[in-house]
């Protein structure tokens, strides 16, 4: 029996519901709400989005099982959450961004760190967009980054500053070539010490180390860099429509949240 199903049954018992036939749709929804707001048992804070989504997936399968075996109809209205839609209101200042660049080292990994900042802050990419980038997606002659795989399955071209382009060029020619194995054909832009494509989690850990070195005491992730550049562009007077194109938003509604961040900051 999956752990989450066991937790649900225990939760029902605590509410004097001991018969399968007595389970109602509102019971599952209440259990989901309970887990959405409760503290994480292993660390301080609420459940992560991936953990919460796991509850949704398992409970939907359990509802399907009850329908097949006991003819109990339990519809679940709660939806999975998307990390990119959950805006983090923690924004780095321009000075904090500069300090992240300043604490990077003149090593292969340090050059990769600067390239990471150039992609996730300088270009405002989503986590998966950055990890999916290939070397050929950096169009040096046009000063553009080509995003082929986006959340909305729409490609876009993102302008990049000369300084950020220089950092990416340094990484590709002075660092990535050292990390790449002799016989490797890996095309992904970001690779690890073994020459393999790197994960978003590993990039996040590098960012976390940079924050520690820069003495930035904020809980941030790669998405925070994206939110920060959007806020900074808005502060600089860039039109909302242009920021929406830059971020790859389908509608202005997704971009307008940054006006609220700016007004409440």
Q: Catalytic residues, which ones?
A: 126, 151, 223, 226, 249, 258
CA 134 – CA 187 distance, rounded (Å): 5
Nearest CA to 139 among 148, 150, 128?
148
CA 157 – CA 124 distance, rounded (Å): 12
Nearest CA to 20 among 69, 79, 53?
69
Query: Both ends of the chain: CA-CA distance in Å?
Result: 47
> 215-238 burial, b if ≥16 CB within 10 A, otherwise e?
ebeeebbbbbbbbbbbbbbbeeee
CA 112 – CA 210 distance, rounded (Å): 12
Q: Which residue has the tokens 């832009």?
A: 189
Residues 6+ apart with CB under 8 A from 240: 234, 252, 255, 256, 259
Nearest CA to 158 among 37, 28, 247?
247
Sign of the Cα pseudo-torsion (245, 100, 181, 172, in order)? positive
């Amino acid at each position: 029996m999956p752990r989450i199903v066991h937790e649900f049954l225990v939760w029902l018992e605590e509410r004097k519901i001991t018969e399968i036939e007595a389970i109602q749709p509102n019971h599952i929804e209440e259990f989901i709400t309970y887990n959405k707001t409760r503290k994480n048992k292993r660390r301080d804070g609420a459940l992560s989005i991936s953990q919460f989504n796991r509850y949704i997936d398992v409970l939907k399968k359990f509802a399907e099982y009850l329908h097949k075996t006991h003819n109990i109809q339990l519809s679940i209205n709660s939806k999975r959450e998307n990390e990119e839609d959950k805006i983090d209101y923690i924004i780095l200042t321009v000075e904090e961004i500069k300090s992240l660049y300043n604490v990077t080292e003149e090593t292969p990994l340090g050059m990769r760190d600067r390239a990471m900042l150039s992609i996730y802050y300088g270009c405002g990419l989503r986590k998966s967009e950055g990890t999916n980038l290939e070397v050929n997606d950096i169009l040096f002659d046009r000063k553009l980054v080509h995003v082929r795989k986006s959340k909305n399955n729409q490609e876009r071209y993102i302008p990049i500053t000369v300084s950020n382009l220089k950092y990416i060029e340094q990484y590709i020619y002075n660092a990535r070539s050292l990390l790449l194995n002799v016989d490797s054909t890996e095309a992904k832009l970001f690779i690890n010490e073994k020459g393999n494509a790197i994960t978003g989690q590993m990039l996040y850990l590098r960012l976390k180390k940079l924050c520690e070195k820069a003495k930035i005491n904020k809980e941030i992730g790669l998405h925070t860099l994206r939110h920060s550049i959007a806020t900074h562009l808005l502060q600089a007077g860039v039109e909302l429509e242009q920021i929406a194109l830059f971020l790859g938003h389908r509608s202005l509604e997704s971009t307008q949240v940054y006006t609220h961040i700016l007004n409440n900051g």
